[in-house]
Amino acid sequence: MALLNILNYPDVRLQKKAKPVEAIDERIHQLVRDMAETMYAAPGIGLAATQVDVHERVVVIDVSETRDQLQVFINPELIWLSEDKKIYEEGCLSVPGIYDKVERADRVRVRALNERGETFEINAEGLLAVCIQHEMDHLLGKVFIEYLSPLKQTRIKTKMKKLTKAM
């Protein structure tokens, strides 16, 4: 396994839309293992392949406190979102140190493939629902700060550019 490099906002590669995974083979299995290791090391609760410059529809999530309940979503699609919304404070491994409130559907249903290529559906609420929506946004080339006001977006972009120059 290997730690992967996480792209930092405003890297333009984060805006790229992910393509569906065509075959769940050893390459995808290795990607999932590497993404999980990277997410846990960061530490984070979710990671989309887009964030590690792989533009395929793969997401790993673990919102458990014990950090031992990895969920893998290949070619995920949101098939239902509740009308009721909640505001959650979100952060992102691609926007380190930045947290802000984002309104999202409180409950969702997602359909995806697991690592064996089997279709499954889950209903999620609370933190898991937020995480699924957040990571699926990455697959569409969208970062959570795009939900914020233009002023906040500009401030964050300026701060992130300064951080990148300082590295």
Question: Is 44 inside a domain boundary?
Answer: yes
CA distance 37 to 48: 13
CA distance 30 to 122: 24
Q: Is 55 annotated as a binding residue?
A: no
Question: Is 1 inside a domain boundary?
Answer: no
CATH number, domain containing residue 127: 3.90.45.10
Which residue out of 89, 118, 121, 135 is catalytically annotated?
135
Q: Is 90 annotated in the active site?
A: no
* Token representation of residue 163: 């951080």
Question: Is 5 inside a domain boundary?
Answer: no
CA distance 50 to 57: 8
Global pTM reads: 0.96
Residue 89's alpha-carbon distances to 28, 49, 66, 124, in angstroms, are: 31, 22, 21, 17
Q: Is 29 annotated as a binding residue?
A: no
**pLDDT 10s per residue in the chain (167 long)?**
799 999 999 999 999 999 999 999 999 999 999 999 999 999 999 999 999 999 999 999 999 999 999 999 999 999 999 999 999 999 999 999 999 999 999 999 999 999 999 999 999 999 999 999 999 999 999 999 999 999 999 999 999 988 877 76
Residue 25, domain extent = 12-166
Let me know the angle formed at the C-alpha of 45 by 157 and 104, rounded to the nearest 5 degrees.
65
